[in-house]
Chain A
Amino acid sequence: MPNPPIQSVGTTPRPHASLTATLDRIAPTRDERLFLVLSIFIGVISGLLVVAFRIAIEWIRLLTLGSAPHGGQFRLLFVPAVAGLIVAALVIWFFPAARGSGVNQTKAALYIYDGYISFRTVIGKFLTSALAIGGGHSLGPEDPSLQIGAGVASIIARNLNLSRRRLRMFAPIGAAAGLAAAFNAPISAILFVIEEVIGSWSAAVLGSLVLSAISSVVVARWFWGPEPLFRIPSIALRDPRELMAYAVLGVFGGLLAPVFSLVLGYLRPRLRALPRWTQFLQPAVAGLLVGAIGFFGFPQVMGTGYDVIDQAMHGQFVWQILLALVFLKLLATTFSFSSGTPGGMFAPTLFIGAMLGGAVGAFEKHFFPHLTGTIGAYSLVGMGVLFAGFLRAPLTSVFMVLEVSGNYSIVLPIILANTLAFLISRGLQPVGIFEIFTQQDGLDLPSMEEQREESVLHIEDALQPASVPIIDGSDTLQAVSQAISEFHATACLVRLMDGSWYAMSTDELNGAAATLAPDTAVQRALKTDRTPALFPDMPLDSALHFFPRWPLLPVLNRASRGTVEGMLTLDDVLRCYRGSE
């Protein structure tokens, strides 16, 4: 069975071309101004919806699983299964685009559907994710929040007839707002959207990203208060030698992350390949399995697990329990996510990371009691470690932990452990989890990790020594002709009094020689334009569009523009690109 499309939009509504042209003429700055104003509205509405989304999850959890779920309660077995059945029916019959986490769906909206996310998708994501997570499935609310935010942005932008380019950029702005409200961490949300959705720093959207993220966090904090997502115990790195202990945690995280990716990457396509009728049952069966884990003594793996992360950070579990929770949560999340139940991967990743960190920290402290780092500190670093290793967002992982903890003194352990986890995980599993899902969905979205690591060619890569005569503007045409013939060159570089340069071809020289006296200064024969100022560190593609005009280009020294570092021809540039393939 072919994979269903990630976004079911047969016809993507787009602003009519003639309407866009008219708008550009009668109100050329309208889009730009609306862009910023709407960013604030998007942030506020996304923040409100995310708050409502979290409350909905909690209400559903309270009503279905009770206020204190614990092992041995039979409802733990059947509630997630029933929730899975309802969610499956809703997704298959009403909200097909609500399936999955939300990150790739938002990327698809950006790169494929011109920023289009339907109102139905937003409603569907809200309802189905809330039901699934509240019903005990091992999934998180952050990725759905990201998609809800992106959807809100898309709906608002569409209704204001903004240009296609603007419309496309609204999705990541809303995504940042949704994620910021869910995490109560604006910087992390902005960084994640840049790292994982947009893929590059763009001044055009950065301002709007910040505005929307800040607005949504202000709204979220108005409701939840300024406290971070978790209560953070006291954290301090008193002895730099303890970095070794955190490095061990980084290594474990780096080894566990690929395991998580492999298990998900293995099970998900196999379940999706099963007959269509089984998709009604898959979330229910996954719910039953997750419920069984809860029923037999580990209800902590059910739902978002924020309270369990909080407990782990406050030393409420021994390392054996923490280790058990690592593997059981990994299993539970794999069942829930692979079955197509809507919900996110962020919270389970943080959960597993926190438990792993707590287990490693408690184990190390048991055998090396002189270590001063608290178990809470290890749990906190563990969250970042798995975030970096599994979700492959290293920068976000560092800032997320800093924002969540509000403690800068943890920065060294985080950077060390996260970097190790990221490098080890990437070495063992080169393809990141979002790319794996993208490939499984039959889409070809850009890989942000690959984009970040693409080597950009610079002018210095194609630079050749100046093999043409370099003459002064005051030299005569006759002298220039002689110099060119001596060099057997097809052009020369003319240095002018004001420090600018001119690349003169032999044809141009011959034309000038035919009309002007031989003792005429060559600068009098030049056209008014000048060769561009190019430097060795500039991107190679910046030189490309000058070649139709100039036979060759001088490459100058940044400290002394009168000094030529070398020259560049179209052949040199093309040879360089071919060589890099």
Chain B
Amino acid sequence: MASPQTGMAFTPEERLARRNLIVRDAVSLVTLFLITAIIFVLTLLLFRSFTSHRQELGARWKARGEAALHGGHPGVAIEDLRSALAYVPDRATEIELATALADAGKLQEASVYFTTLWESAPSDGTINLQLARLAVKQGNEGQAIFHYQAALDGAWQGNGYDRRREVRLEMARYLISGREDSKARAQLLIAAGNAPDDPAIKLAIAGLLEQANATQDALGIYRSLAARREPPLAALEGAGRTAFGLGMYRLAEDYLSRALASPLAINLSDDEKTADRNMLDTSLHVLLLYPSFDLTPRNRAQRVLAIRNVARRSLSACMGANPTAPPKLPALVSRWGQLPSQITVSQFEQQPNMEQTILQLAYDTETAAAPVCGPPTGNDALLLRIANNPSAVDQQ
């Protein structure tokens, strides 16, 4: 090992000792190397068996945890997923564990866990969705909307397109439950715009739009579905129902009669059928009373006169029952008094504006009498429906 020193003289014994020392050091180092190699091989074998066993344990615990989670046993899943994480830590398992915590009602733990996950991946869609759900459970509206929105904007593994739509629908349901109809409508319209041509999805969106009081938007979706070659029964029903709600009785009559005539209608429950029939009957009666422009002038004039009589009788009855009626009703009596007491069909031909004046007065009468004299019945009720949106009744 040692290098000869310049100018240093050794005795023969020292030279021999030096040579022996070099040999001995070399042998020692080679021995050391061999020992190192042996320890390395042993450690490697030990390490390989250990890591494969860890992987096996991690996979086993994860499978058990997932099965428990999906089987509705979040308490068991928590322990199993914790064990899985101890052997093979990965984000997916962490999210599953946090979900199990939330499902088990350990909201604070789940919240802390998800928040920590979120801090390391603030744009992860799944984590934001779970945080939004936790915020919903904890009644924190601001956080819920923030995380729902972050989930919509975030990154998703797998089919992000579908997952975002599901999140959007979930967010809309939450907004509807909080009576945030306009915000819900906005989300639903975006969802509808991006939705694939899948009747089930469109029906779900339309249903939520109905719940968000966006009936017109819902009707649009139902109608598009009803226009298909084999329209889903729910679409026909929905179109009829929403058209009925909007006062579009011509459309309602059309869709509801198609729905009830559909072979699929046998799947409807009795209550559903009854409800549909009631709406259909009402629509038919409205259409029988309504002075449509599609009618001949004579027939239309006759309906106007019939309406005039219904309204006047209603006003008289209401005034008689309520002597201290609000000033609105006497004003209506005065307006009726300004019109000729006897009107014939031929007068309408001479004074085309009179028809419209009488109809408007009849609508005003029903609208004003209803709050004072209680819910109308019979033709009064039909007339009140027409009065709500006269131009919609006949709309196609």
Residues of chain A touching chain B, judged by Cβ–Cβ distance below 8 Å, are 22-23, 25-30, 33-34, 37-38, 41, 44-45, 48-49, 51-52, 55-56, 58-59, 62, 67-68, 70, 156, 159-160, 223, 231, 233-234, 307, 310-311, 314-318, 362, 374-376
B28-A68 in contact (CB<8A) = no
Q: Residue B108 contacts which of A55, A159, A318 (CB distance < 8 angstroms)? A: A318
**Listed residue (B47, B54, B109) with the most chain A CB atoms within 10 angstroms of its CB:** B47
Q: Give chain B residues whose Cβ lies under 8 Å from the Cβ of A25.
A: 14
B108 touches A30 (CB 8 A): no
Shortest CB distance B305–A (Å): 71
Q: Is B334 an interface residue (CB 8 A)?
A: no
Encoded as 1 (CB less than 8 Å from any A CB) or 0, chain B from 12 to 33 comes to 0010011001000100110011
Given A49-B39, A67-B57, verify A26-B21 contact (CB < 8 Å): yes
Contacts A33-B1, A68-B61, A234-B120 given; indicate if A48 touches B43 (C-beta within 8 A).
Answer: yes
CA–CA, A514 and B227, complex, Å:
136
In the complex, 25 of the A-B residue pairs with CB atoms within 8 angstroms, ordered by the A residue number, are A23-B21, A26-B10, A26-B21, A28-B5, A30-B2, A30-B21, A38-B32, A41-B32, A48-B39, A48-B40, A51-B43, A51-B47, A52-B46, A58-B54, A67-B57, A234-B119, A310-B89, A314-B117, A315-B113, A315-B116, A316-B82, A316-B113, A362-B112, A374-B120, A376-B116
A289 to chain B, nearest CB (A): 24
- Point out the residues of chain A lying under 8 angstroms from B94, CB to CB: 314
Q: Are B85 and A311 in touch, CB under 8 angstroms?
A: yes
Chain B residues with CB below 8 A from A310, complex form: 89
**A contact patch SS:** helix
Residue of A38, A231, A315 ringed by the most chain B CB atoms within 10 A:
A315
B25 & A375 in contact (Cβ 8 Å cutoff): no
In the docked arrangement, what's the CA distance between A62 and B17, Å? 54
Residues of chain A lying within 8 A (CB to CB) of residue B82: 68, 311, 316
CA distance A45 to B31 in the complex (A): 13
Contact B39 A45 (CB under 8 A): yes
Q: Which of B44-58 contact A (CB under 8 A)?
A: 44, 46-47, 50, 53-54, 57
Asked if B36 and A48 sit within 8 Å, CB to CB, the answer is yes
A48-B40, A233-B116, A311-B85 as given contacts; A27 in contact with B97, CB under 8 Å? no
Contacts of A311 in B (CB 8 A): 82, 85
A375 and B116 contact, CB distance less than 8 A: yes
The answer to whether the Cβ of B266 comes within 8 Å of any Cβ in the partner chain is no
Give, as a whole number of angstroms, the nearest-CB distance from B346 to chain A. 79
Q: Is B115 an interface residue (CB 8 A)?
A: yes
A534 to chain B, nearest CB (A): 35
Q: Flag if A374 contacts B119 (CB, 8 Å).
A: yes
Q: Report the Cα distance A311→B82, complex, angstroms.
A: 9
Residue numbers in B under 8 Å from A48 (CB-CB): 36, 39-40, 43
**Of B50, B86, B117, which is within 8 A of A307 by CB?**
B86
A223 contacts B43, C-beta separation under 8 Å? yes
CB neighbours (8 Å) of A30 from chain B are: 1-2, 21, 25
* Known contacts A52-B43, A314-B94, then 18 further A-B pairs from the complex at CB < 8 Å, ordered by chain A residue: A22-B14, A22-B17, A26-B18, A26-B21, A28-B5, A33-B2, A34-B1, A231-B89, A233-B116, A310-B89, A311-B82, A311-B85, A316-B113, A316-B116, A317-B109, A317-B112, A376-B116, A376-B120
Residues of B within 8 A of A160 (CB): 25, 28
The CB with the most chain A CB atoms within 10 A, among B33, B42, B50, B115, is that of B50
Complex interface: chain B residues within 8 A of A23 (CB): 21
| A374→B122 CA distance, assembly (Å) | 12
B21 touches A44 (CB 8 A): no
CA gap between A48 and B112 in the complex, in Å: 39
Residue from B3, B50, B57, B116 with most neighbouring chain A CB atoms (10 Å): B116
Determine if B87 is an interface residue (Cβ-Cβ < 8 Å): yes
Contact: B36 with A44, CB < 8 Å? yes
Nearest 10 pairs of A and B residues by beta carbon: A315-B116, A27-B2, A68-B83, A30-B2, A26-B18, A307-B86, A234-B120, A374-B119, A315-B112, A48-B39
User: What's the least CB distance linking A91 to chain B, in Å?
Assistant: 24
In angstroms, Cα B42 to Cα A526, docked, is 72
* Nearest A-chain residue to B106, judged by Cβ: A318
Return the contact of B36 from the options A28, A41, A67 (Cβ within 8 A).
A41
Alpha-carbon distance A14/B94, docked complex (angstroms): 56
Chain A residues, Cβ within 8 Å of B25: 30, 34, 160
With the chains together, A68 CA to B78 CA distance in Å?
A: 12
Residues in chain A near residue B21, CB distance under 8 A = 23, 26-27, 30
Assess A55 versus B83: contact at CB under 8 Å? Given A27-B18, A314-B117: no
- Are A37's CB and B29's CB within 8 A? yes
**Distance (Å) between the CB of A562 and the closest chain B CB?**
41
